[in-house]
Amino acid sequence: MTVITPEVSLDPELVGAGDVTHFWRVPRYRGLDCLRATFRRHAYARHSHDTYAIAAVLAGCETFFHRGEQHYAPAGSVAVVCPDEIHDGEPYGGGFEYRTFYPSPELMQEIAEDVTGRALSRPPWFPRSVINDPELFQAQVRLHACLCQDESWSSEMEQDTRLIDFLGRLIARWADLDALPTLRYGSKGILRVRDYLDIHMSEEADLADLATMAGLSRSHFIRAFAKETGLTPHAYLLDRRFRAATKLLSQGQAPGDVAAACGFFDQSHLNRVFKARMGVTPGAYRAA
């Protein structure tokens, strides 16, 4: 995978050579992460984020697992994943090109309160995984180009206007501000294990001990954990390490130090896990 500038990333000759990504961050929007990418081969491992993931598909089709089902986002659609939700993603057919934002729950709640004119107890939740809204799609594409750090022609006022307009439309048209999202963690035994792994994320865990904690046999525990969380116990632990690494890298910490702090075997292990879930290397993410 190559990390290059947006202008080069759209060159058909280079796109044909494989996967191309460009990642950057806009700090004044509560650390808003932005990704432009063309994926022909890359497949995301199942993972979750502290943020939303909002993707406009420009060409091709992306398929992704979300809320227990397989979804398909064709060109012209917008895919939405809420914080803490397990998902993956890969090309369906020859590949796909998309523009993605990762807004924080705080930013989304702030915009939702602007839209509704009232205080909200939680950030907005979106019941649909794939949205067909041509006007919204075009607004996201224009906003993404406006926020690109290599585009000097856009002012902060224009960026602010487009961001608030796009997120406001998304929330007003497609968010459910009253219904609570479905809880994935119903079993007390699995909840105990999940809480333990969250706290001891950087430590190695013994499968037999975790099964005992859940009050289940090892084979039953693995099936029950995957059914309730969408991940096996090992994949869940890697996901927690990935999310912790994301925070430390965004603070400017070196990948080697982050690998040690989060329980990875070494920096190359961090690189593999991070790239499989974020689409870019830890070094590229930190540099943003």
Count CB atoms within 10 A of the CB of residue 155. Answer: 10
Give residue 274's Cα distance to chain centre.
12
Residue 84, pLDDT score: 94
| Pairing, β 32-39 against β 44-47 | unpaired
Which fold would CATH assign to domain 188-229+231-287?
A: Arc Repressor Mutant, subunit A (1.10.10)
Mean pLDDT of 9-18: 50
Cα-only R_g, the chain: 19
Could you state, in order of their start, the residue ranges of all structural domains in the chain? 2-174, 188-229+231-287
Q: Could you tell me which of 162, 160, 171, 161 has the C-alpha nearest to residue 142?
A: 162
Report the 3 state secondary structure along the chain: CEECCHHHHCCHHHHCCCCEEEEEEEHHHCCEEEEEEEECCCCEEEECCCCCEEEEEEEEEEEEEECCEEEEEECCCEEEECCCCCEEEEEEEEEEEEEEEECCHHHHHHHHHHHHCCCCCCCCECCCCEECCHHHHHHHHHHHHHHCCCCCCCCHHHHHHHHHHHHHHHHHHHCECCCCCCCCCCCHHHHHHHHHHHHCCCCCCCHHHHHHHHCCCHHHHHHHHHHHHCCCHHHHHHHHHHHHHHHHHHCCCCHHHHHHHHCCCCHHHHHHHHHHHHCCCHHHHHHC
Residue 56, pLDDT score: 98
Residue 179, pLDDT score: 63
Q: Do domains 2-174 and 188-229+231-287 have the same CATH topology?
A: no
Count CB atoms within 10 A of the CB of residue 261. Answer: 15
pLDDT, tens digit (0-9, with 9 covering 90-100), for 67-79: 999 999 999 999 9
β partners of residue 36: 22, 99
Q: Could you tell me which of 200, 191, 192 has the C-alpha nearest to residue 241?
A: 200
pLDDT, tens digit (0-9, with 9 covering 90-100), for 182-197: 554 458 899 999 999 9
d(CA 200, CA 78): 36
Share of the chain above pLDDT 90, in %: 83
The answer to whether residues 126 and 82 touch, using CB atoms and an 8 Å cutoff, is: yes
Residue 16, pLDDT score: 46
Binned at pLDDT 50, 70 and 90, residue 119 comes out as very high
Residue 15, pLDDT score: 45
Q: Could you tell me which of 124, 75, 118, 120 has the C-alpha nearest to residue 104?
A: 124
Decide: pTM greater than 0.75.
yes
Residue 18, pLDDT score: 76
pLDDT, tens digit (0-9, with 9 covering 90-100), for 203-233: 999 999 999 999 999 999 999 999 989 899 9
Mean pLDDT of 151-173: 88
- Residue 176 pLDDT exceeds 60: yes
d(CA 179, CA 210): 33
Residue 152, pLDDT score: 54
The answer to whether residues 32 and 54 touch, using CB atoms and an 8 Å cutoff, is: no
The answer to whether residues 175 and 152 touch, using CB atoms and an 8 Å cutoff, is: no
Average pLDDT, the chain: 90
Binned at pLDDT 50, 70 and 90, residue 155 comes out as confident
Binned at pLDDT 50, 70 and 90, residue 277 comes out as very high
Which fold would CATH assign to domain 2-174?
A: Jelly Rolls (2.60.120)
Residue 186, pLDDT score: 59
Q: What are the tokens at 43?
A: 């497949």
pLDDT, tens digit (0-9, with 9 covering 90-100), for 232-241: 999 999 999 9
- Residue 281 pLDDT exceeds 90: yes
Residue 9, pLDDT score: 43
